[in-house]
Structure 1
Amino acid sequence: RNPSTAVVNALADALSLDPAERTHLRYLAKITGGACPHHVRPTPPSREVRPAVRETLRLLEPGIAAVTNRLGDVLAHTPGYAAVLGAAGLLDHPAPNLTRYVFTDPRARTLFPDWDDIADEQAFDLWLGPSVENSEWLSTELAPVAGPEFTRRLANQLVPRRGPLRLHHPTGPELRLHRETLEFPADAQQLLVLLPADPETATHLTRLTRPAGPHLRAIS
């Protein structure tokens, strides 16, 4: 029987293996368990955002909002989202993914003062991904590079407490934001809107998100 991903990850954590060693261990587990080492990636979830959802997002400008899925893919966003979260590198990748950013980009620990809480949330949300196959694929892909901080959280099925989001913006201000989420079950997507949680944050956001140029940017 092929060892489960969780068992292989736990063994790699216990042995403090580096990324290359983790990849080799997973390969050995597959071939000794009779699995094909070149398994086929499942069909990725759609990155298309419906026109009505795009229009809703546009109406929220210059606010901080984005269309995402539970894997952490950022599918479309307002300029305000880019000004606040993109300033620390979240949107640098052509296909930005918040889960990957949190666990593999050192800048995430500065952007999120409550990094442990955010990491718990992102790992938990993989259980709610568009499909089990896509969640498992992303988990397997991240495990070698993210290490124990990621793999130990995969076994935690307790619902994380989601309080106000604290951000330390690269320009200096600390922001406190309430999160409001509108689910689109048929699309396996959600609209995330970030709102100021105090007057100081509202003042900073006015400066950071002042419109200057083109509007909605979609990511394909």
Structure 2
Amino acid sequence: MGTPLGDFIRAKRDSIQPQSLGLPDHGRRRAPGLRRSDLAGRAGISVEYLTRLEQGRDRNPSVAVVNAVADALSLSPSEREHLRYLSKITGGECTAHARPGPPLREVRPPVLETLRLLEPGIAVVTNRLGDVLARTSAYEALTSGSGLLDAEAPNLTRYVFTDPRARTFFADWDDIADEQAFDLWLAPSVENSEWLTSELAPAAGPDFTRRLHGHVVPQRGVLRLDHPSEGELRLLRETLDLASDAQQLVVLLPADERTTQAVARLRGLGPHGGLRAIS
């Protein structure tokens, strides 16, 4: 049985063409990408040890080995961070053996007050599982008609993978699906991630499982929405990590004048602001 660390190394190796690293092309082969021997040679480790890493038979690589593999794969800074994180959870440094279950949904009062100060802006507090924990009235207006907030306890990940409306609402659905699957690895705890994954897998099918184990580190570019009444909206995302709470505050900013005007119409702001309570 493999491990998240081994799965990621294998996925990256398969995605790299030898020529991109200045290595010779050895012709046709059974699997795509970089050969184990090529990666092992670049990392300064044996092919046998790399095989054990990929197959999950070695779960405690040293920091030096993790860094060497990252260098050999020419990982980006965000990919290197993900590789280091996976080495920790594979080696058991994160909480283990706890019963899988959902995380707490409480948001600290200072964070709620920050949201109030952000009105009439578009902002939302979530955790890495995708639970929508609190939002401004402008976020509610932006997502109106999409079905995202219909559930009693809205969850963005569940919505993306199980609600057909999500494939229309998110113009770049494939990218958003990769983001939500990737963020499950950064959930409040391993147990929380296992809880949501076991719930989603039967409903979302193999596409969800493939994305989860593909470890595609997202770029998180401009968010494009196909709003039911306003058409295409383009928004920039600024994220503030609330590390002590295992949550994040995301602020969405219009990326162009058309989106600015559309958001103003959606909010329906009167001369005095028309703020709504945060849920």
TM over 0.5: yes
Which position in structure 1 is the counterpart of 2:221? 163
Q: CA deviation at 1:41?
A: 5.3
- The secondary structure found in structure 1 opposite 2:151 is coil
1:101-121 CA distances to partner (integer Å, 9 max, x unpaired)?
Answer: 000000001100100000000
Which position in structure 1 is the counterpart of 2:211? 153
Unmatched segments (≥5 aa) in structure 1: 7-39
The alignment yields a C-alpha RMSD, in angstroms, of 2.0
- The secondary structure found in structure 2 opposite 1:175 is strand
1:108 equivalent in alignment to 2:144? no
1:72 equivalent in alignment to 2:130? yes
1:122 equivalent in alignment to 2:180? yes
Which one has more relative contact order, counting CA pairs under 8 Å at least 6 apart?
1
Counterparts of 1:1-220 in structure 2, within 5 Å, are 42-211=100-269, 215-218=276-279
Instruction: Provide TM-score, normalisation by structure 2.
Output: 0.62
Separation of aligned partners in 2, 1:104 and 1:74: 16
Q: 4+ residue runs of structure 1 moved beyond 6 angstroms?
A: 3-6
Which position in structure 1 is the counterpart of 2:63? none
Separation of aligned partners in 2, 1:214 and 1:61: 7
- The secondary structure found in structure 1 opposite 2:214 is coil
Range that drifts further, 176-185 or 165-174: 165-174
1:74-104 CA distances to partner (integer Å, 9 max, x unpaired)?
Answer: 0000111111124311010000000000000
Which has more radius of gyration? Answer: 2
Kindly indicate whether the alpha-carbon contact (under 8 Å) linking 2:141 and 2:267 is maintained by their aligned counterparts in 1.
yes
Range that drifts further, 124-133 or 152-161: 152-161
User: Sequence identity, in percent?
Assistant: 68
Q: In the superposition, relative to structure 1, how do residues 4 and 141 fare at CA in structure 2: closer, same or farther (>3 Å)?
A: farther
1:24-78 CA distances to partner (integer Å, 9 max, x unpaired)?
Answer: xxxxxxxxxxxxxxxx953421111111100100111121111100000000001
Separation of aligned partners in 2, 1:214 and 1:196: 19
Q: CA deviation at 1:158?
A: 2.9
Kindly indicate whether the alpha-carbon contact (under 8 Å) linking 1:5 and 1:140 is maintained by their aligned counterparts in 2.
no
1:123-157 CA distances to partner (integer Å, 9 max, x unpaired)?
Answer: 00000000001101101110001002201111112
Q: In the superposition, relative to structure 1, how do residues 139 and 4 fare at CA in structure 2: closer, same or farther (>3 Å)?
A: farther
Range that drifts further, 150-159 or 96-105: 150-159
- The secondary structure found in structure 2 opposite 1:149 is helix
